[in-house]
Amino acid sequence: MSEAKQDTIKMVDIYIMGKKYNVPETLTIMDAMEYAGYQLKRGVGCRAGFCGACATVYRQAGDFELKVGLACQTKGEEGMYLAQIPFFPARKAIYDLEEIKPSVAHFARMYPEVFRCLGCNSCTKVCPQDIDVMQYVAYLQRGDFARAADLSFDCLMCGLCVSRCPVNIVHYNSALAGRRLYSRYLAPPDSFLAERARAIKEGEMDAEIDELVNADKEKLQELYNNREIEK
């Protein structure tokens, strides 16, 4: 950043692992950390709010509340105290999808904590995707895996919902189990998917796959931006 341009931007003090840094107020937490000289190798992914890899814990000066957010989306602010953790530790049930059924009883054995939900809605309020987390938990409790799968489809697995839950529900892992049960046992078969899988297996798509593998970044961006979106 040029000195002239930097002079026009307000600078703020943030604290990373207890050390103070002066950074431009326009930066996100992730950008501010890099501006301060940190090289991010873990806890960073798409940088666009889609992958959920950069969940961050922070506090504000004079505020005792522990706050969370995605580092690539949350703006750095004056007096912000940052601490990085690689992920929010959360239990993940071990199960064989072929040995369980889409029933409340089977689900309760995998994720019993789901049934402790207090209905506080803290999980929904903290979700960076604006997913109604408490509602899909209610669907899981009733064994309505179709609705739970649909409502949780955009989950980033960032773990911020877990960080706010007073009864330690592992929302994102339980939702993933619900989506798997729905897709394995309840979702109607997709003829297009079956035909495409057959074509790939028999080598009919080899030329197109090779073209994608060997394409440069600009070509891939063009294909992505002009892709046909299924309705």
Percent of the chain with pLDDT over 90: 62
pLDDT higher at 72 or 47: 72
- 169: nearest Cα among 134, 142, 144: 134
Query: Whole-prediction pTM value?
Result: 0.72
- State the total domains in the chain: 3
Beta bridge mates, 24: 11
- State residue 96's pLDDT score: 94
| Alpha-carbon dihedral 160, 152, 220, 222, rounded to 10 degrees | -110
213 in a domain, yes or no?
A: yes
Mean pLDDT computed over 146-175: 93
In a domain, 27, yes or no: yes
Taking CA atoms, 20 is separated from 14, 38, 70, 81, 100, in Å, by 6, 13, 21, 9, 52
Indicate the pLDDT class of residue 231, thresholds 50, 70 and 90: low
Residue 171 lies in a domain: yes
**Same domain, yes or no: 54 and 123:** no
Give a yes or no: residue 88 inside a domain: no
Q: Are residues 182 and 195 in the same domain?
A: no
Residue 19 in any domain: the answer is: yes
Residue 134 is assigned to a structural domain of this protein: yes
Q: Which range, 68-77, 137-146, 222-231, is most confident?
A: 137-146
pLDDT at 57: 83
Average pLDDT over residues 99-108: 95
Domain that holds residue 218: 191-225
Average pLDDT, the chain: 89
The verdict on residue 96 lying in a domain is no
Residues 115 and 139 in one domain: yes
pLDDT band at 1 (very low <50, low <70, confident <90, very high): low
Does residue 93 form part of some domain?
no
Reported as a single tens digit per residue, the pLDDT across 22-65 is 999 999 999 999 999 988 877 787 887 778 788 888 888 888 78
Q: Are residues 108 and 174 in the same domain?
A: yes
Residue 107 has pLDDT above 90, yes or no: yes
Is the CA virtual torsion 64, 86, 129, 114 positive or negative?
negative
